Structure 1
Amino acid sequence: MFDLHRLRLLRELKHRGTLAAVAAALSYAPSSVSQQLSQLEAEVGLQLLEPVGRRVRLTAQAEILVAHTEAVLERLERAEADIASSLTELTGTLRIASFQTAALTLVPSALGLLRDRHPHLRVHVTHMEPEEALSALQARDFDLILAEEYPGTRNPRPAGLEQQDLLDDPLHLALPRLAGPETDNPMAALRSLADHPWVMEPKGTPARNWAMSLCRDAGFEPDVRFETTDLLLHQRLVEQQLAAAFLPGLVWSGQPSTIGLRQLPRGQRTRRVFTVVRSGSGQHPAILACRDALHRAVTLCSRQTSAEHTN
C-alpha cells in the first residue's frame, strides 16, 4: 500500500509547482521533500517526476496517483465533517480568504455572528484576490474562500471544489460629477467618458478584462491611467475628479454614495459573489455555520442599504 503522507506531498507538488514551494508551505527542508518523493517512486516502481529545466513536472503515472489521492482526501474531509457533526460544541479553526469589498462589508458582520453563536470556533481571515485564493484553497491553505465573477467572465472551476452563491452585487458606472452629460441611456453615459482618464484593476484580472470589453463594446479604448486592486482607491480617485471607474455596490457598505453613478447596459449590471470549499467539506459544521453567517450578513447589509435609500 502506498504511503498517504508521500502521496500528499506529490499532490502538493502538483498544486504548488515547485519542491521549494512545497517545502515552504509545509515547513520542511527541500531535501526532505525530495527524499520522500524518491521513496514514493521506489514504492510505486515507476518514475513520477521528470526534470524540465530547473523544475520538475509530474509524469502521467504521477497524475493518476494524484487523482486517486484527491479522492482519498475528499473522503477524509467527509470523515472530518461527520466527526465534527457528532460533537455538541463547535471548536477548531476555520481559515477564510476574502477579496477586499467582501472583507470590508460582509466578513466583519459574519465574524460577529460566529463569535456570538460559536465562541470556541477560532476564525482566521486573510485578504486575498479570488484567483490566488482558489489555488490556495486547493492546496489546503484555506477552508473557505469568497470569490467574485463578473458578467461574461465565467470560468470553469478546478475539479474538487464546490461553490454556493451568496449574492448578486450591483455594478455601476462611477463618474466625476463634472464629466459626461446627464442621460438615462447607459451606453451614451459610457461613451461620454471615452476621453476621460480611468482607474481599473490590473491587467489580466477578470475585473479588468470585463471592464475593457465593456468599453470596447461602447466603441472606445479607455485611457487607463491608474491600476490597483484597491477599490476604495478607485472610489477616491473618482471623488477627486481624477478618473472614471466601474464600482460594485459593496464598496459603499450600505452607506450613501458620494459620487455620481450611472446604470450599466443590460446584462452587465451585477457581479456574482459566492463561497467556495473543497469537495467533501461542505457539510462540516464550521463551513455550514460560516455560510449561514455570511448569508445573514448579506441580509443585514441589504437592510442598511434600503434604510439609507428610504431616508
Structure 2
Amino acid sequence: MPVLELRRLRLLHELALRGTLAAVAEALSYSPSTISQQLGLLEKEAGVALLAPDGRRVRLTEHGRVLAAHAARALDLDEQARGELESLSPGLAPVRVAVMQTATLALLPTALALLGDRAAGLRVELVQLPPEQGLFELTARGVDLVVAEQYPGHTRAHVEGLEREVLGTDPIRLAVPPADPARALHELHERAWAMEPAGTAAREWAVQQCRAAGFEPDVRFELADLTAHARLVATGHAVAVLPDLLWAGSPAPVRLLDLPEHPAREVFVSQRVASRDRAGIVEVRRALRDAFAATNADPAA
C-alpha cells in the first residue's frame, strides 16, 4: 500500500475542521481545485473513498472521518518531532501568535522587548484575532499560540490536544462619559451602549450584566474594536463595560465605575500539547507571562 503523504493528511484534517474545500483553500492560500486534486490523490493512497458529494459541497465518508482523526494524531507526532529537533539545534523556528486586541495593546510591546533581549534570533509573527477565531486557528494549526480570554461564568470549552496557562485576571468595569452622573449599572437603562458583536463571549456576558440589573441594553454601536468603544464613551455617545487592559497602564479617558462583585476576566495563553516544548514557544509564553505581570497600574488613577 502506498505511504500516506502527511501534507495531504493535513488537507483532510483541515477539511474536517473547516467544512468546505473553499475554506481550506482560503486558510492555506491554495486554489479549491488544488485542494480537491490533492485529496483525490490521498484517496488513491488510502484505497478507499474519503469524500462524498453533498449538494454543491463534499462531506467526509466514514473512512474519511476515521482517517481525519488519524491525521490529527500524525500531525501531532510530526510537531513533537520537530520540537525535539529544534531543542537540539542553535536556531529557533518562527512562532505565529494570535492575539486579542487588548493583549495587542497592553502586552505585546513589553513582550517583544523582552524577547529582543532573551531570544534575539526568534521571529515572532502576530495576527490580531478575536479569541473564538484564534482558538479555532490554533486547532487548525494556523497559529502556534493564542492569547484569549474567559469571562466569569462563561467558560470556554476545553479542546482535546490544547492546553492553556492563565496569565492573570483583568478587572472589568463600567465605563461612562466623564460628565455622566450615573453611579451604578441600573441607572444606565436609557443610555446607548457600545458592545462587541453578537455571538462573542464578551457580548453575552455584558448583556447578562444588564439583564441582572433589570433592563435590556440599547446596543446602538456593535464594534469589535474596543478602542472605538472607549472613544464613543469618552465623547459622550455611549456607555460600555470594558477591561482594564484596554488602558495599558495609562489613565482612562472615561469615568470608571465598579460593577457588582468586582468581576474580572481570565486572560490565558493556549497552545497545542504537541508543541509545548518548542523552544521558541516556551520563550514567547515566558515573555507574555512577564509582560502581563508588569501591567498592574490602576487606570482610574
TM-score > 0.5, shorter chain as reference: yes
The 1:233/1:138 distance shift into structure 2, 3 A limit, reads same
Alpha-carbon separation, structure 1, partners of 2:31 and 2:256: 53
| Residues 252, 299 of structure 2: 8 Å contact kept | no
1:144 aligns to what? 145
Alpha-carbon separation, structure 2, partners of 1:308 and 1:54: 55
2:267 aligns to what? 273
- Please list every run of 5 or more consecutive structure 2 residues that lacks an aligned counterpart in the other structure: none
Alpha-carbon separation, structure 1, partners of 2:177 and 2:29: 50
The 1:264/1:4 distance shift into structure 2, 3 A limit, reads same
1:237 aligns to what? 232
| Residues 90, 285 of structure 1: 8 Å contact kept | no
| Residues 182, 188 of structure 2: 8 Å contact kept | no
Cα-Cα RMSD: 1.9
TM-score by length of structure 1 reads 0.90
1:77 aligns to what? 79
- Please list every run of 5 or more consecutive structure 1 residues that lacks an aligned counterpart in the other structure: 183-188
Select between 72-81 and 222-231 the one with higher mean Cα deviation: 72-81
Alpha-carbon separation, structure 2, partners of 1:287 and 1:192: 46
Alpha-carbon separation, structure 2, partners of 1:223 and 1:26: 40
Q: What per-residue deviation string (whole Å, max 9, x for no partner) do you get for residues 157-201 of structure 1?
A: 33221111111110001112343444xxxxxx1110011111111
C-alpha displacement of 1:30: 2.6
Amino acid at match of 1:130: P
Alpha-carbon separation, structure 1, partners of 2:31 and 2:227: 40
Q: What per-residue deviation string (whole Å, max 9, x for no partner) do you get for residues 274-303 of structure 1?
A: 11111210111111100100111112222x
Report 1:59-208 matches (<5 A).
59-87=61-89, 89-182=90-183, 189-208=184-203
The 1:191/1:6 distance shift into structure 2, 3 A limit, reads same
Amino acid at match of 1:179: D
**Per the alignment, in what secondary structure is the counterpart of residue 237 of structure 2?**
coil
1:214 aligns to what? 209
C-alpha displacement of 1:273: 0.8
**Per the alignment, in what secondary structure is the counterpart of residue 188 of structure 2?**
coil
Q: What per-residue deviation string (whole Å, max 9, x for no partner) do you get for residues 122-158 of structure 1?
A: 1111111111112222222211111111112112133
The 1:113/1:126 distance shift into structure 2, 3 A limit, reads same
Alpha-carbon separation, structure 2, partners of 1:132 and 1:308: 31
Alpha-carbon separation, structure 2, partners of 1:308 and 1:205: 26
Number of corresponding residues:
299
- 1:227 aligned to 2:222? yes
| Residues 198, 204 of structure 2: 8 Å contact kept | yes
1:186 aligns to what? none
2:17 aligns to what? 15
Amino acid at match of 1:86: L
Alpha-carbon separation, structure 2, partners of 1:275 and 1:66: 26
Q: What per-residue deviation string (whole Å, max 9, x for no partner) do you get for residues 259-284 of structure 1?
A: 21111122x61011111111210111
Alpha-carbon separation, structure 1, partners of 2:289 and 2:21: 39
1:294 to 258, 271, 288: 288
The 1:237/1:32 distance shift into structure 2, 3 A limit, reads closer
| Residues 179, 193 of structure 1: 8 Å contact kept | no
Alpha-carbon separation, structure 1, partners of 2:94 and 2:274: 17
1:257 to 252, 273, 282: 252
